[in-house]
Amino acid sequence: MLTLATVGVTALLFAVDYRAYYAASHAHTLSYVWMLQLIGTTLNASYQFAVIGLRLYFPIGLIGLFAASFWFAARTR
């Protein structure tokens, strides 16, 4: 669970950074076009993270994530 949360939060931070970079070229806030641009930018950032950023977790990072997950799970019992 911790592994999925870590990857999910990292992808979210990547999407927020991506959105902040392209915010100047987007339409006015809360308009229909802005909503489409926000969805498109978020999907594009998620895809880019999956292709480029996710490999940073392999192979050492994945082992560390699973070790931390098991350690936290054992600590709560």
pLDDT in tens, 1-56: 777 888 889 889 988 998 899 888 889 989 999 999 999 999 999 899 888 887 77
Across 46-74, average pLDDT? 83
How far is Cα of residue 5 from the mean position of the Cα atoms in its chain? 10
The domain spans of the chain are 25-77
Phi, psi of 72 (to 5 degrees): -65, -35
Give pLDDT, residue 31. Answer: 95
How far from chain centre, in Å, is Cα 16?
A: 8
Cα 65 → chain centroid: 16
How many of the other CB atoms lie within 10 Å of CB of 5?
A: 11
